Chain A
Amino acid sequence: MRNRWGAYLLGALLLVGTNLCGLAIPWLLKLAIESLQSPAKAGYTPAQYGGLIAAAAVAQGIIRVFSRTTLLNAGRRIEYELREDLYAKLLTLDRTYFSNWRTGDILSRLANDLTNVRMLLGFGVLSLLNTVVIYTASLILLTRISPFLTICAVLPFPVMILIVKQMSASMFRVSKRTQEALARLTTRVEENVSAAAVVRAYCREEGEIESFGAVCDSYSDASMAMAKIRGMMLPVMAATGAIGTLVILFVGGNQVIRGELTLGGFVAFNGYLAMLVWPTIMFGWILNLVQRGAASMTRLGEILNAYPEVVEPEQPVDPGEIEGEIEYRSLSFSYGSAEMLRGIDLKIARGSRIGIVGVVGSGKSTLVRMIPRLFPVADGTLLIDGIDLNRLPLQRIRAAVGFVPQETFLFSRTIAENIAYGKPGATREEIERAAKIAGLSGDLTRFPQGLDTLVGERGVTLSGGQKQRVSIARALIKEPSILILDDPLSAVDADTEEEILSALSGYYGKRTVLIVSHRLSPLRNCDRIIVLEQGSIVEEGSHAELLELGGRYAAIHREEQLKAEIERL
């Protein structure tokens, strides 16, 4: 709640104000009626009393507007800040975290759970304050009539609190279950919509509807369990008030009979007791809000308290200008249980070009992902310009690396904006130059809006090769000292590939370049090629050396050539 205490205090004061105006009205009414009964003693005429009542009503209304907006806006502001915090947190979390979470789940927490928390902080606080005000007022009035009876009247309350406490605990649990079910539902929708093409191509519509129905069912069930508890809460609250009345009936009745209490006092007492019933029921409702809010808050806490494995170094070392020398020293890495990289030792001089090949799943992508610290380096060391990667400021190393991921991700913005993503504030010329090196110029001239063509979510309105090349351009415009291309031309035809490769060789310059590829053609200009197998480097050397070695690389080469030869015959 941080700095919102002021708003809550102001809201509370305004609430007292509006309630005071509210209380003034019956009092004025009493005076007015008395003046009508005996006009002689009256201070004002009935019309004047009418005016006073109207004035009090208007004042009450105006203060009411302010009290409600102050409190509810405070709830909204906190919601806003909480959402900011949540998103800020998400921005710091790493791949390990996101691969364990579903997008739909996070979406649901930031929408539905946040709503519950806001309801608690807005309406919940408002109603709580209101209830407290009314409770206090009524209790003061009751005590003035008979302190003893007041104690009797509140006698059932401890029992109620016990029952309610019991119920709150299960309310918390059920509420959490409901929110989890809602998150699952959100996840189903998110996946289904993202996979629209697959669902259609494989006629899975009916199956999807069926499984969605099942998820909705479990959400309904959880909601009904919640409704059941809520339904039980109401009568418990109502009964507490009523039992209080019953106690009064006996005790108070006896007092009247014994002449310890006047009949008028007894009747008045009963009247005020009725005033307590409504806030008591209200209290049940607030409790419901509190438990739901609390359950949701713990779910938000799971995000807020998450910590990334990739963190800023405690004692960062200023690397100066990163030049791009990379050294893996007996680096091992595992995503979970199985080791994915095993004791990698590799030294890459600045300005050299390294090709990486290997079968599917041999750890090529994993190897290059370590450099921009997408995953933590824990076992072994990775040195950049001779400095331990873990001691470089995250921003610095990422600024120095141009990364083209194997899986292209584009934002639903224009092509120009997507390319300029690599360099905020890039000029049009820079964007065009990057697009040209990435071999996009031809396509751009064919798009009516050229660079300003809007691409769909994840770039769906582009062809596979176009997406890949936008992603390359985005990395190039950054002018990085280390360029990492993870299978960058897999969706590109030989012609375009040739065009890009020759443009790239002019671009490389002093940069250190790592290229992962399944085809050997993009590795043509590499100084050194390494072959990965099950997370270890099994061959290493120049193209000629590896051919001479006659190992795996030579086999891949032979295979490609063989096919060509067969055709030539």
Chain B
Amino acid sequence: MHFGGIYEDETVGKVYDRRLMGRFIAYVLPYRRMLTTALLLLPLIAASKLAQPWIIKVAIDEHIVKGRMEGLPALAAAFLAIIFAESILMFAQVYLLQWVGQRVMYDIRVQLFSHIQRLSTRFFDQTPVGSLVSRLTSDIEVLGEMFAAGIVTVVGDILVLAGIVGIMLWMNVRLSLVTFSVLPVLIWVAFAFRKWMRLAFRQVRARQANLSAFLAESIGGMAVVQLFNRERDEAKEFRRLNASYVEANLPVITWDAALYAVVESLSSVAVALIIWYGGGEIVKGTLSFGSLVAFIQYIEKFFSPIRDLSAKYSIMQGAMASLERIFALLDNDDREPAVLPASEAAKGTPQACQASPAQALQSICFNDIWFAYKDRDYVLKGFSLQMKRGEKVALVGETGGGKTTVTRLLSRLYDVERGSITIDGTDIRELPLPVLRRRIGVVLQDPYLFSGTIAYNISLGDPEALKRVEQAAAVVGADRFIRELKNGYDEEVRERGVNFSAGERQLISFARAVAFNPEILVLDEATASVDTASERLIQQGLEGLMQGRTTLVVAHRLSTIRDADRIVVIHHGEKAEEGTHAELMAAQGLYYRLYQLQFKD
């Protein structure tokens, strides 16, 4: 079966041009000193390589032929010294190149990661986790391969090539031209192959991302797969993706092999041409025999850097395909909402995450907001709500009515389409995101726990919150079960908190919101997986804490919200009713009905 899932990231639509390399070089430039050092080592290494046969030659001509053994040990010592020098130089070169490669990978990786931190929530709704993982890991690893293959020494290869071409032309223009007649074929092959290879590599990278997206999802849902006996179908789907990945690789192998073979054969064909042409010249007496032999040797030298280049060529094409994907993600403009220019002097400085607002919060207003996740599919239609300092406002209503959406808009996880949300009269779009979000503590409907310790999960590594971990846990009544754990607050939390019960996870994520000591507390069904007794404990714990704080509560269990100052009923994205519990009961509307249903016996 072929699922119409979202892990169908075929090749990137946008084909990047030659600027790709230019952009990449910008990442290498900061390390140019290291690179030039590595490049400068090249001639030294070459010299030490050349010196070795020369010493042997001296040894043979001056000593062995003449039968003089004295002086030979000195030569041997020199020989060893040169080998020693060569070893050190080679080591230094490999090390430097790798170092630069690692730095460049590090820079790109961290930049990409930082960029992802700035992307909008919408982006994550649409992008499979696994495909992002593959960009940050395997796509960047491919760049590393490029450095490991010594791509930088291409410069050296090209220089050597130019030198040899010069010498050949100087020796014999006509023979050189005969030799070079194979070059157009080579250049054509290189260009044609580049297109095909790039296409094939693009396919490979995209399919690798699909595979990884499928795998990531599948690991997360393994229990469901097994519960529903669907192992065989998942295996089939995996086989399809796996096969399509391997198939995408086969053309790459073929092109690579073909390129290798073409270069290898052309060098021999060039020799054949020289024999054919030069042979005729010799017969005519216009060419000396010695020149012909020398020329054949030069052809060998001429093709050796070309062979090196061609080997690096396909690695480079692979790297280009990866760079395309990396840059495409970096160029993704689906950023978090931008901060609008302040209509009046906005408070707080941008980037200052800890910046505490000058004044205590007075009011929050939702003014006739409209919002759609997709196109014109409005989830909120003209929703308005006023909250004052210290108030507790409850949102109730049918699931899918838009309650969670309201809380998301307040934190600007999404931006309103029409209307506005203001805090103390300032549009939240004019507040720097950290300033806004620091004031709000949200308990998300789906609690997420990181792997780490309980203390880390409550504080998220924030030093201020860390001081309040135990207090916060006590407030929400999480301390009861935490104290029973062997390591208490240092107990290990596994990925997504799998080693805790759903209710415990919810309590920990509740404690997190409390530990951040926010002015506005947003509780999105924060006690849905918690029993009534524990819920009462939380309410008691919160009572003292809530003084002077503004709270927005979403709950289905109406008993949890009876003490709210105001209750707002959302129905299909619109405010249906608003008032205190007593008022709404008297009105005998939606709320009344919900209430009757819940306590009917």
Provide the residues of chain B in CB contact with A202, threshold 8 Å.
437, 460, 462, 512, 516
Closest chain-A Cβ to B186's Cβ sits at a distance in Å of: 13
Chain B positions 41-84 with a Cβ under 8 Å from a chain A Cβ: 52-53, 56, 59-60, 63-65, 67, 69, 72, 76, 79-80, 83-84
Asked if B64 and A256 make an inter-chain contact with CB atoms under 8 angstroms apart, the answer reads yes
Provide the residues of chain B in CB contact with A190, threshold 8 Å.
129-130, 133, 216
Q: What's the Cα separation between A57 and B303 when bound, in Å?
A: 14
Q: Which of A112, A234, A566 contacts B137 (CB 8 A)?
A: A112
Provide the residues of chain B in CB contact with A29, threshold 8 Å.
271, 275, 296
Provide the residues of chain A in CB contact with B4, threshold 8 Å.
413-414, 417, 454
Q: Which of A68, A194, A487 contacts B448 (CB 8 A)?
A: A194
Interface residue B106 (Cβ < 8 Å from any Cβ of A): yes
Chain B positions 267-314 with a Cβ under 8 Å from a chain A Cβ: 267-269, 271-280, 282-283, 289, 292-293, 296
Closest chain-B Cβ to A364's Cβ sits at a distance in Å of: 8
Q: Which of B253, B486, B533 contacts A68 (CB 8 A)?
A: B253
Provide the residues of chain B in CB contact with A236, threshold 8 Å.
87
Interface residue B386 (Cβ < 8 Å from any Cβ of A): no
Q: Which of B106, B116, B125, B254 contacts A456 (CB 8 A)?
A: B125
| Closest Cβ neighbor of A54 among chain B residues | B272
With A76-B253, A216-B106, A361-B501: A518-B124 Cβ-Cβ less than 8 Å: no
Interface residue B589 (Cβ < 8 Å from any Cβ of A): no
Interface residue B225 (Cβ < 8 Å from any Cβ of A): yes
| Closest Cβ neighbor of A196 among chain B residues | B124
Q: What's the Cα separation between A524 and B598 when bound, in Å?
A: 11
Q: What's the Cα separation between A190 and B448 when bound, in Å?
A: 13
Q: What's the Cα separation between A404 and B124 when bound, in Å?
A: 26
Q: What's the Cα separation between A560 and B562 when bound, in Å?
A: 12
Chain A positions 185-204 with a Cβ under 8 Å from a chain B Cβ: 185-187, 189-204
Asked if B501 and A90 make an inter-chain contact with CB atoms under 8 angstroms apart, the answer reads no
Asked if B229 and A189 make an inter-chain contact with CB atoms under 8 angstroms apart, the answer reads no
Closest chain-B Cβ to A53's Cβ sits at a distance in Å of: 4
Closest chain-B Cβ to A423's Cβ sits at a distance in Å of: 9
Provide the residues of chain A in CB contact with B562, threshold 8 Å.
563, 566-567
Asked if B400 and A466 make an inter-chain contact with CB atoms under 8 angstroms apart, the answer reads yes
Q: Which of A94, A257, A561 contacts B67 (CB 8 A)?
A: A257
With A186-B133, A457-B217: A464-B525 Cβ-Cβ less than 8 Å: yes
Interface residue A148 (Cβ < 8 Å from any Cβ of B): no
Interface residue B594 (Cβ < 8 Å from any Cβ of A): yes
Provide the residues of chain B in CB contact with A464, threshold 8 Å.
399, 404, 445-446, 525, 528
Asked if B593 and A200 make an inter-chain contact with CB atoms under 8 angstroms apart, the answer reads no
7 residue pairs bridging A and B, Cβ less than 8 Å apart: A186-B133, A200-B437, A212-B110, A245-B52, A412-B7, A422-B228, A456-B6
Q: What's the Cα separation between A206 and B370 when bound, in Å?
A: 31
The interface bits of chain B over 206-238 (1 if a CB of A lies within 8 angstroms of the residue's CB, else 0) are 001000100111111111111111110111001
Q: What's the Cα separation between A185 and B459 when bound, in Å?
A: 22
With A112-B141, A193-B124, A461-B125: A46-B495 Cβ-Cβ less than 8 Å: no
Asked if A203 and B353 make an inter-chain contact with CB atoms under 8 angstroms apart, the answer reads yes
Asked if A47 and B594 make an inter-chain contact with CB atoms under 8 angstroms apart, the answer reads no
Q: What's the Cα separation between A108 and B253 when bound, in Å?
A: 23
Q: Which 5 A-B pairs have the closest CB atoms?
A: A46-B279, A465-B399, A235-B87, A360-B503, A50-B276
Interchain pairs with CB closer than 8 A, number: 514
Interface residue B364 (Cβ < 8 Å from any Cβ of A): no
With A25-B271, A193-B129, A207-B462: A36-B94 Cβ-Cβ less than 8 Å: no
Q: What's the Cα separation between A47 and B581 when bound, in Å?
A: 105
With A413-B4, A495-B593: A421-B230 Cβ-Cβ less than 8 Å: yes
Asked if A337 and B486 make an inter-chain contact with CB atoms under 8 angstroms apart, the answer reads yes
Interface residue B264 (Cβ < 8 Å from any Cβ of A): yes
Provide the residues of chain B in CB contact with A496, threshold 8 Å.
398-399
Asked if B227 and A185 make an inter-chain contact with CB atoms under 8 angstroms apart, the answer reads no
Interface residue B461 (Cβ < 8 Å from any Cβ of A): yes
Provide the residues of chain A in CB contact with B242, threshold 8 Å.
80, 83-84, 87
Q: What's the Cα separation between A109 and B540 when bound, in Å?
A: 48
Closest chain-A Cβ to B77's Cβ sits at a distance in Å of: 10
Q: What's the Cα separation between A87 and B232 when bound, in Å?
A: 11
The interface bits of chain A over 232-260 (1 if a CB of B lies within 8 angstroms of the residue's CB, else 0) are 10111011001101100110111011000
| Closest Cβ neighbor of A467 among chain B residues | B446
Chain B positions 441-455 with a Cβ under 8 Å from a chain A Cβ: 442, 444-446, 448, 450-451
Closest chain-B Cβ to A558's Cβ sits at a distance in Å of: 10
Provide the residues of chain A in CB contact with B212, threshold 8 Å.
107, 110-111
Interface residue B187 (Cβ < 8 Å from any Cβ of A): no
A59-67, A346-354, A428-436 - the one binding chain B: A59-67
Q: What's the Cα separation between A446 and B132 when bound, in Å?
A: 32
Q: Which of B87, B397, B460 contacts A204 (CB 8 A)?
A: B460
Provide the residues of chain A in CB contact with B599, threshold 8 Å.
560-561, 564
Interface residue A293 (Cβ < 8 Å from any Cβ of B): no
B155-163, B165-173, B193-201, B255-263 - the one binding chain A: B255-263
Closest chain-B Cβ to A189's Cβ sits at a distance in Å of: 5
With A193-B116, A409-B223: A239-B502 Cβ-Cβ less than 8 Å: no
Interface residue A282 (Cβ < 8 Å from any Cβ of B): no
Asked if B223 and A359 make an inter-chain contact with CB atoms under 8 angstroms apart, the answer reads no
Asked if B219 and A106 make an inter-chain contact with CB atoms under 8 angstroms apart, the answer reads yes
With A190-B216, A249-B59: A359-B534 Cβ-Cβ less than 8 Å: yes
Asked if B94 and A230 make an inter-chain contact with CB atoms under 8 angstroms apart, the answer reads yes
Q: What's the Cα separation between A267 and B60 when bound, in Å?
A: 9
Interface residue B574 (Cβ < 8 Å from any Cβ of A): no
Chain A positions 147-194 with a Cβ under 8 Å from a chain B Cβ: 182, 185-187, 189-194
Q: Which of B83, B223, B250 contacts A243 (CB 8 A)?
A: B83
Assuming A99-B499, A205-B117, A465-B400, what are 5 further A-B pairs, CB within 8 angstroms?
Answer: A53-B269, A62-B261, A182-B137, A186-B136, A460-B124
Q: What's the Cα separation between A9 and B261 when bound, in Å?
A: 20
Closest chain-A Cβ to B352's Cβ sits at a distance in Å of: 11
Residue of B72, B249, B462 with most partner-chain A CB within 10 A: B249
Q: What's the Cα separation between A45 and B400 when bound, in Å?
A: 89
Q: Which of A56, A199, A372, A465 contacts B268 (CB 8 A)?
A: A56
Interface residue B91 (Cβ < 8 Å from any Cβ of A): yes
Closest chain-B Cβ to A84's Cβ sits at a distance in Å of: 6
Asked if B215 and A107 make an inter-chain contact with CB atoms under 8 angstroms apart, the answer reads yes
Asked if B106 and A220 make an inter-chain contact with CB atoms under 8 angstroms apart, the answer reads yes
Interface residue A403 (Cβ < 8 Å from any Cβ of B): yes
With A478-B228, A559-B532: A446-B572 Cβ-Cβ less than 8 Å: yes
Asked if B219 and A49 make an inter-chain contact with CB atoms under 8 angstroms apart, the answer reads no
Q: What's the Cα separation between A491 and B400 when bound, in Å?
A: 10
Asked if A36 and B72 make an inter-chain contact with CB atoms under 8 angstroms apart, the answer reads no
Q: Which of B124, B133, B250, B272 contacts A50 (CB 8 A)?
A: B272
Asked if A249 and B129 make an inter-chain contact with CB atoms under 8 angstroms apart, the answer reads no
B14-22, B341-349, B543-551, B552-560 - the one binding chain A: B552-560
Provide the residues of chain A in CB contact with B576, threshold 8 Å.
none
Provide the residues of chain B in CB contact with A52, threshold 8 Å.
272
| Closest Cβ neighbor of B267 among chain A residues | A57
Q: What's the Cα separation between A401 and B90 when bound, in Å?
A: 65
Interface residue B440 (Cβ < 8 Å from any Cβ of A): yes
Closest chain-A Cβ to B3's Cβ sits at a distance in Å of: 5
Closest chain-B Cβ to A487's Cβ sits at a distance in Å of: 6
Provide the residues of chain B in CB contact with A204, threshold 8 Å.
460-462
Q: Which of A93, A185, A235 contacts B88 (CB 8 A)?
A: A235
Provide the residues of chain A in CB contact with B234, threshold 8 Å.
91
Q: What's the Cα separation between A185 and B88 when bound, in Å?
A: 33
Asked if B138 and A111 make an inter-chain contact with CB atoms under 8 angstroms apart, the answer reads yes
B25-33, B95-103, B422-430 - the one binding chain A: B95-103
Asked if A560 and B559 make an inter-chain contact with CB atoms under 8 angstroms apart, the answer reads yes
Asked if A65 and B261 make an inter-chain contact with CB atoms under 8 angstroms apart, the answer reads yes
Asked if B235 and A88 make an inter-chain contact with CB atoms under 8 angstroms apart, the answer reads yes
Asked if A374 and B223 make an inter-chain contact with CB atoms under 8 angstroms apart, the answer reads yes
Q: Which of A242, A405, A443 contacts B224 (CB 8 A)?
A: A405
Interface residue B23 (Cβ < 8 Å from any Cβ of A): no
Asked if A91 and B399 make an inter-chain contact with CB atoms under 8 angstroms apart, the answer reads no
Closest chain-B Cβ to A340's Cβ sits at a distance in Å of: 10
